[in-house]
Amino acid sequence: MLQKWLFGMGGVVLMFTMLFLFLGNSASEDTLLAKNIMEKVNSGTTVVSLNKLTDFDWEKAQIFGPYTTKDAIEETMDIQFKGSISGLDVREDIFLLVFAKEGHAIKTAVLYRNIGDYSTKNGMLTPDNDLLSIK
């Protein structure tokens, strides 16, 4: 009886560990950040400082255009990406802003193209180089 109980508990612990590893380090979508960026663009801003809009620590960020795959995001940023890319790989109406820390994507923001096209002037965004351009 004790042996069955220990085996069952071991299975439960293993399942929770696997679930944590799968869901831990998963990038979450930050809809408030996306809304704030798009509001600034709608007001005529053509350059947005990400540091002024983020309330979390990040090491690097990059903006990805339509039809970008998860593999391309991982390769470009040299990170592991777990989470949703919001259909970016099959949609032409959005850009995806991806923030990373310690080799993992931590946040994303979906930005709509009907407002403008997003880019960076100096490659990968960092807290010291945080300007997102909109045309």
Q: What is the pLDDT of residues 63-87, one digit of tens each?
A: 999 999 999 999 999 999 999 999 9
Higher pLDDT, 51 or 22: 51
Quote the CA–CA distance of 79 and 85 in Å, as a whole number. Answer: 14
pLDDT, position 12: 57
pLDDT, position 17: 47
Helix ranges (H only) for the chain are 2-23, 31-42, 70-77
pLDDT, position 122: 82
Average pLDDT over residues 89-105: 96
The Cα angle at residue 85 between residues 94 and 104, in degrees rounded to 5? 130
Quote the CA–CA distance of 11 and 96 in Å, as a whole number. Answer: 38
Q: Is the pLDDT of residue 16 over 80?
A: no
Higher pLDDT, 54 or 1: 54
Residue 38 near residue 115, CB atoms below 8 Å = yes
Residue 95 near residue 111, CB atoms below 8 Å = yes
